[in-house]
Structure formats: C-alpha cells, structure tokens
Copies of this chain bind each other. A is one copy, B any other.
Amino acid sequence: MVQQVKFGEDMKRIKNVRIKDVAEKAEVSTATVSHVINGNKYVSEKIKNKVNTVLRELNYQPNSAARSLRSTKTNTIGLIIPINSEDTSKSFFMSIAEGIEEKLKSKGYNLILSNSKEDSEQELNLIKMFKTKVDGLILAPTNENFKAINETIDHNFQTVMIDRLPVGYKGDYVLVDNFQGTYEGINELIKSGFKKIGFLSSGLGVNTSSDKFEVNKERSNNRMYINPNNERFQAYKVALSDNKLNFNPNYVLFGESSFQSGYDLAKQLISKGVDAIFIANNIMAMGSVKFIQEQKLIIPDGIGMIGYDNYDWTEIISPPLSAIKQPAFEIGVQASELMLNRIQNPTAGFQHIKLKTENLKRSSY
C-alpha cells in the first residue's frame, strides 16, 4: 500500500505504510496485526501467516512515534559523555559508547549520543531534553552540580551512572576500580627499586584545592569516590604509606589535560628529582614521554614510568610503556545490561558494579 501523494510541484513523496493498510490487505483488524507483530495475544497459525505475508509484501515498519506515544516506551537509551575536544578521555568514552550501542542494538534498543563537554549547564539541558525521548539515561556526570543533577533525575527516568559518581547518588552504577590498579602500579614501581615517585594527573573536579592533600586512610572498597582521578591519587598515597615511603606533596602535580601540560609538568617533576612518574592520564603521558625523549633520559634505567589506559602508542614507543588499562568497552556493555534489567524490573535493588583494571607490564619500569 505504497501511496503516491502530490508534494510541492511535481515531486512525489511516498507515504509510509500504516498498520491499517496491512489490516485491510490481510482482511483482519488492526488489533490482530498488532498482536501478530508483538506476539502478546494468541493468533491462529492461519491468520498469523496471512498477516506476516502482507507485512513482508508491504515492507511494513511500525511508526515509532505512534508506538511510543501509546505504550510510553521509546526503546531508546540516552548517553551523555563529557569530552572536551582536547581531552584524553575521548577514546575512553567512545569505547564505552561502542559497548553500549552493541548491547542495546542486540536487544532492539537505540542509542542517542550526546556530549556535555564537561559543562554542567549543558548537561542539565541535555537531561531535561532526554526526558521524553528515552526510557533511560546512562550518564558520566560532570564534576559540578551534583545536587542539581540529583533533582533533575526524577523517577520518570531510569539512570545508570558510569565512570564517576555524584555524592549521595542512589542508583545503579558501573565504575572502574581505579584504586586497585593504581595501587598495584605504584607498588610495582617501588618493587623495581624506585623511591621518589612523582604523580601527574588532571584536575580532581570542583572540590579539589581545599582537601587535595588530605590523606584518606580508608581503602577504595569501603569508600565512595567522587572521581577517578581522586581515587588514583588516594591509591598513590596509600601505596606509598604501605611501603613506608614518605608522601612528598612536591612530587604531586595536577594540571590541565593536555599534551603541553604533560610536557611541562614532567619537566617540573624531573627537576624536583623524582626517579619515576605515574601519569594518570593519557594525553599528559604523551607530553611527558615527549619531554623524556628530548632529554635523552633512558627508560627505565634513568626514569621509570607508568601510564593510564592502553592506547595504541604505548606499544610502539621504545621502550613500550607499561600501563593500567581500563575496560572501557566492558563498562558500556555492563551499563547497558543494568539499564535493560532496570527497565524490565524497576523495583529491583540497585546494582553496583566495579570493574577491575588490567596491569600491562611492559618495559618502562
């Protein structure tokens, strides 16, 4: 029932096949067609076959607006990731998105992708806009305005947080155990004989400066960390302390997430006499490596290094850089699973997933 309709001058536009067209051609009611499609009421084999034949003949595709309107399900999930163009996190979050899309597609869901650019105002706008467009939201929250987010996300909305956690958030989430990986990494540096270990990272988010150096004695497992960078920093301090090494605030530098900043801060650390550097951020690691190479410092004899996340380049520099690898794709898969479960069963208890990092020992320590 592909109808031709006049449109503009002489242009023709094909009107979509409706369920009514199918019903008429198959000589049944629209209800029956719907039942055949959705399989939620018994329909005899004979009629089912007839309808299915017509469905194929007309190449029918249900109008999803109508469907959503009536059923209040959009079969769509929103994803908000926070990437600045210059940022290291791009590839990390894109792998997460890939994992989400793959899982969702297999269950008949779609993914709407959006970028908050690490800006909490944009984030709130996006959340608001998503309200009537999606069945659920997977969110890597920005570092500010947690309260506002908590208010905006009401019970109309299934939510799964990833990578970071708003304080006081009650709900499903998938995080990476950044403490564990970092702790092990620092430990290994120490085992290899390094004693003056520098720590390089991008910012901790909003509540950074005041308590930046307040040592937290508890371990990751019992605590809810706001932010992966902070978690890594805590792990760094605990690992030092567990190895009876002094924590030296001069060996810790936070800067913006850029190549240049990595270059500059590595320079500073070296001038302060560190013998190894842990870099909690990919693009800063690149900047640091550049500086080290320019200085003709020998890795690992002159200086030890560990980076974060297993980017391509870590394998082909010489020597290959050891790294802590986050399971990005897997975060996406797990987050979608939580989401789909919650949609199916909204009253179930909240699920908290913490994925392990992988410690890739290469030749840089």
User: Which A residues form the contact surface with B (CB < 8 A)?
Assistant: 8-9, 11-14, 16, 61-69, 74, 76, 83, 85, 90-91, 94, 97-98, 101-102, 105, 110-115, 128-129, 131-133, 154-156, 283, 286, 289-290, 293, 311-313, 315-318, 329, 346-347
Contact = CB atoms under 8 A, between A and B. Distances in A.
Given A283-B312, A315-B286, A133 B112 contact: no
Contacts of A98: 83, 85, 90, 115
Contacts of A62: 132
B8 A76 contact: no
A114 B128 CA distance: 23
Given A290-B315, A311-B312, A318-B293, A61 B115 contact: no
Nearest to A108: B129
Q: Is the interface of A mostly helix, strand, loop or mixed?
A: mixed
Given A94-B94, A156-B13, A290-B315, A64 B115 contact: no
B76 A102 contact: no
Copies in the complex: 2
Q: For A11, A85, A132, A318, which residue has the most chain B Cβ atoms within 10 angstroms? A: A132
B102 A115 contact: yes
Contact of A132 (B14, B63, B94, B114): B63
Contacts of A114: 101, 105, 110-111
Nearest to A104: B114
Contacts of A156: 13-14, 16
A9 B91 CA distance: 43
Contacts of A128: 61
A156 B63 CA distance: 13
Given A12-B155, A64-B132, A94 B90 contact: yes
A102 B84 CA distance: 11
What 10 pairs across the A-B complex have the smallest Cβ distances? A313-B313, A65-B68, A65-B69, A94-B94, A113-B113, A64-B132, A63-B132, A65-B65, A61-B131, A66-B69
Contacts of A289: 316
Contacts of A67: 65
Contact of A316 (B110, B313, B315): B313
Contacts of A283: 312
Contacts of A133: 64, 110
A109 to B, nearest CB: 11
A90 to B, nearest CB: 7
Nearest to A66: B69
Contact of A112 (B76, B90, B316): B76
